[in-house]
A = this chain, B = another copy of it.
Amino acid sequence: MPRSDSASSRDNLWQEDWDNENRSTHPRSTTYFERPSEPGERPYYAEDYELSPDLEEWSRSAHRHRLRPHYRDGDTIDWWHEDASERERWKGLVSQHGFRGLIAPFIDVIKLWFVIIFTGICVGLAGGSLDILVIWLSGLREGRCARGFLWSQVECCAGVESGQVCHDWQAWGKYLGIGSIMGQSLIHSFAYILLSMAFAASAAILVVSYAPYAFHTGIPEIKAILGGYVFDSFLSSWTLLIKALGLALSVSSGLSLGKEGPLVHVSCCMSFLFMKLFSQFHRNETQKRKILAAAAAAGVSVAFGSPLGGVLFGLEELDAFGGDFDVMWRGFVTSVIAAVALQYVDPFRTSKLVLFQVTSGSDTWLAFELIPWLCLAVIGGVLGSFLIKLNIAAAVYRRNSILHQWPILEVTGAATVTAVLSYLVVFLRVPSSDLVANLFQECDPQRIDFHGLCNPTAMWENVFLLVLTGLVKIGFTAWSFGMMIPAGIFLPTIAIGAALGRAVGLLTQGLYRAYPKAWFFSACPPDPTVRCIYPGFYAVIGASSMLAGVTRMTVSLVVIVFELTGALSHVLPIMISVMVSKWIADAFGPDGIYTSWIALRRYPWLPPFEFRDNGEIAGDAMTPLSNLIVLQDGSSLRELQRLLETWDYHGFPVVQDGILLGYVVREKLKSFIEPLLSESGGATRICGFRGPHDSDSADLSPLLEDAMQLRKEVPLELVVNMFRKMNLRHIMFSQAGTLTGMITKTDIVALSTANFAHRGALAEERTIERT
């Protein structure tokens, strides 16, 4: 894309102009040669390199990676290049003389572990504090503590046994001394709906005004960033602050959304902040990503109280460790430390990490139960897939309607509708986390019955309410996930699944009570008063199935579910339900919710699956030589300068008589030739990329970088898998040394999302330009 476009598009929210975008969409067009350069424009990249004045020393130096390109948001990083620059830095450290050479590498490692450990501690503390804030804000919708306004319900009732009524906690009606039941009802519904609206509106105002990147879950973006996408403003301090505050507000507003995904974003922002302290991370894109991977694991660890699940989420869903077990190990450490910090805060005053303890009376299960569980798995797969499709439809509709110009109004409206409808159905009214916690628990005469859930005579009413709750929540979630507020999809999905699962459990229990001697229940005692079926565990199965349908995670999902619930003895049915649900959901379309959003946003991210072509070879997808801008060895400096002015690709292949010599990064070339051009007669000097041609020519050999070379007859499949596994930015194609074409990551991403109907539907959103 010529410079004239790109300078003005710098502030766009969802820029499409990562390099060579045009090339990939019109691979055989030749319009690139037509646009002339416009002199006097401001330069495209920052130019803050410190150049060595002695060019002779430059050309002798074996270190060809001294200059690193500065990326701007929307670029794709060059992993080779960044790794090389880190290598150089490390070698520089260890080769220092004397004491510094001994101590410097040691300090370097200390810095690394400082960032990792400090990130872990801060993420744990922040997660715990957010939990406390959410409990307090949510509680405000119902009432206040007699001991003081700032006491949350949990703190207020801390000493009260679980079977007892907490007298210190006063509903608004009681607190305001309203006697009539009618008046109490009115004041309750009024406070509930009004505060819901207020919380949601404040969250939206914060996000829209100060940090538009703080909206949504953040996981698609984190996936893209970990895969090499440059998006530093997504991790800024403002985003951190607004996302954390907005998250507490939006969760408390009663909208159908969770805090789990956004916590991953929050923890990545936090580690990004700490990284800024040390140039070794801040200035190297691969090092940055390795730390971010560990921070993301810590985020999940804190969100679910699941340190192991965090590591596995990083591994499976974020694909964050790139097969490097050193990086995984760091994620493991960060995750553990964050969980320890969370347990230290202990926001729920349970002294436990397990959030939603299953209190099943039995740790064995019966074979016939697999039948209702398989039904739940099928339901989870179908509804999960449906939820994704509904959510995409809602997002695309919002984008194309007038709604996307009034995001604050939309959020407030949605909060009002949610609050009004929720107030009518008891299971919708309570916060999702309370609902899930109670759906997972078995009925126990010692405890207060959760809104009549344990009343055996009201089975049909409960089943109806639960199914209604599940279905309404699907609608709410599909709409809410994508509005201009921080919103995670994990908790609502769990709530939907748990409601449906509990309903199936109640039905099975009812069937057993009605026909205790049927052959189907022969494994149970024939006495229906003996407990044989535990509906709480059905809720767990429902939740895992629904999660599998929505996220398509496998191993990490199972671990998160049993770290959430403590239901380790039932790991087999959980695994089976996840397996079946994923199978069913995959039949409706292979993309999980996060992958779908990546495709909607058109981020350059490659899925971690083998790509299968239909017989195409690389030559079919590459940009052929005729459409490439190449540098010729032996060009004059002026020719190079004009080329640089015209084209702002990330870099250019260098050829000599058609033979590929290597690749030169635009910014390095630019900073290298500028001082030469300013010399008298510099413009006419001949450039030698393989060393000086004669005494007068300029030696550009230090700039030349290696490029991966293949022949264009290579199957496309192989090229795609190489990009994925090696984190490449581009591959050159050559035949007996002669350059024939080139392919970039953007081309590959376009290939792999070619089948997605709404690809890029949200990529050009420009509503918010205040960043």
Contacts and interface: CB of A to CB of B under 8 A. Distances in A.
A323 interface: yes
Interface stretch (A160-168, A241-249, A328-336): A328-336
Contacts of A315: 315, 555
A311 interface: yes
Given A328-B554, A351-B364, A572-B343, A62 B736 contact: no
Interface stretch (A190-198, A480-488, A713-721): A713-721
A711 to B, nearest CB: 5
B576 A336 contact: yes
A326 B736 contact: no
A713 B706 contact: yes
Interface stretch (A20-28, A79-87, A426-434, A751-759): A79-87
A352 B336 contact: no
Interface stretch (A219-227, A493-501, A608-616): A608-616
Contacts of A339: 572, 575
Nearest to A732: B709
Nearest to A586: B329
Contacts of A340: 572, 576
Interface string A725-751: 110000000101110000000000000
Contact of A308 (B87, B91, B559, B610): B559
A344 to B, nearest CB: 9
A571 interface: yes
A659 B569 CA distance: 64
A651 interface: no
Given A323-B725, A706-B713, A736 B659 contact: yes
Interface string A294-305: 000000000000
B64 A713 contact: yes
Nearest to A333: B579
A587 interface: no
A324 B307 CA distance: 23
A545 to B, nearest CB: 14
A724 B326 CA distance: 14
Given A575-B307, A575-B332, A737-B659, A326 B718 contact: no
Contacts of A708: 708-710
B332 A579 contact: yes
A260 B579 CA distance: 26
A639 interface: no
A575 B297 CA distance: 14
A218 interface: no
Interface string A629-667: 000000000000000000000000000100111100000
B571 A563 contact: yes
A656 B514 CA distance: 85
A568 B563 contact: yes
Contacts of A326: 609-610
A167 to B, nearest CB: 27
Contacts of A335: 575
Contacts of A403: none
Contacts of A558: 308
Contacts of A353: 569, 571-572
Nearest to A709: B709
Contact of A725 (B333, B563, B725): B725
A511 interface: no
Contacts of A594: none
Given A363-B352, A566-B569, A569-B566, A711 B662 contact: yes
A690 interface: yes
B352 A579 contact: no
Given A615-B91, A706-B713, A718-B80, A736 B608 contact: no
A319 B562 CA distance: 24
Interface string A592-619: 0000000000000000111010010100
Contact of A610 (B324, B352, B568): B324
A625 interface: no
A338 to B, nearest CB: 11
A722 interface: yes
A259 to B, nearest CB: 21
Nearest to A325: B608
Contact of A736 (B319, B352, B615, B660): B660
A708 B711 CA distance: 9
A554 B335 CA distance: 13
A140 interface: no
Given A87-B717, A706-B714, A713-B62, A575 B660 contact: no
Interface in A275-330: 307-308, 311-312, 315-316, 319, 322-326, 328-329
Contacts of A325: 316, 554, 608-609
Interface string A547-588: 000000011001100110010110110011001001000000
Nearest to A80: B718
Given A83-B717, A308-B555, 11 more contacts: A80-B718, A84-B715, A91-B615, A308-B571, A323-B608, A325-B554, A332-B575, A332-B579, A352-B363, A566-B568, A725-B725
19 contacts: A62-B617, A308-B571, A315-B315, A316-B328, A323-B323, A325-B554, A326-B609, A329-B582, A332-B555, A332-B579, A336-B579, A340-B576, A352-B569, A354-B568, A354-B569, A562-B568, A660-B736, A706-B711, A726-B726
Interface of A: 62, 64, 80, 83-84, 87, 90-91, 307-308, 311-312, 315-316, 319, 322-326, 328-329, 332-333, 335-336, 339-340, 343, 351-354, 363-364, 554-555, 558-559, 562-563, 566, 568-569, 571-572, 575-576, 579, 582, 608-610, 612, 615, 617, 656, 659-662, 690, 706, 708-711, 713-715, 717-718, 722, 724-726, 734, 736-738
The list of the 9 closest CB pairs from A to B, nearest first, reads A737-B737, A709-B709, A568-B568, A336-B575, A725-B725, A659-B736, A706-B711, A351-B364, A323-B323
